[in-house]
Amino acid sequence: MRQHLDDDERFHKTEAFQRAESELAELFRTTKTHRSWFFGHICVELLLDGWLCEQHPTLIDDYFAALSAIDPAELVARVSPWLTRPPERLDEFIGIFTEHKFVAGYTEDEPLLQRLQGVARRVGLDPLPANVLEILPRARERVYEVAEALLRTK
């Protein structure tokens, strides 16, 4: 977890990420999306995952096989000491995430929009406007153009 947080902090500070996040936030603003900066940020990450799935198609199966091998109760027990409160529904979330293979859906626009709608719902935001689907191809194109730069965190 600590490694992930350290990597994430470096990743979010890179010029490539900040530029892509800003460009995608602007695309979301054109659709009248509330909290467009939030969705610009999330969308960069999801689209980069989609790019990785396309570049390394066998890795996604390996990823879900590894995730399926996790004992959710053991994971809860291991992460709980690091947290200020118990992780709610973590075990349930792992099962849902594995069953629906969410990451694999990031390679196509309609499933990606469904994932973004799910994020909005989980954080208590209004549903995204339908016209968000129209900007996703441009968002994808932009992130794919800078994917290699996004992966260079130094």
Verdict on whether the full-model pTM lies above 0.95: no
**Which tens digit of pLDDT belongs to each residue from 69-108?**
988 888 888 888 888 888 888 888 888 888 888 788 899 9
Helix/strand/coil percentages in the chain, nearest 5: 80, 0, 20
Q: How far, in Å, CA of 81 to CA of 151, rounded?
A: 30
Q: How far, in Å, CA of 68 to CA of 28, rounded?
A: 34
Q: Give me the helix-helix angle, 109-122 and 132-145, nearest 10°.
A: 100
Instruction: Delimit the domains of the chain by residue range.
Output: 2-56+101-151
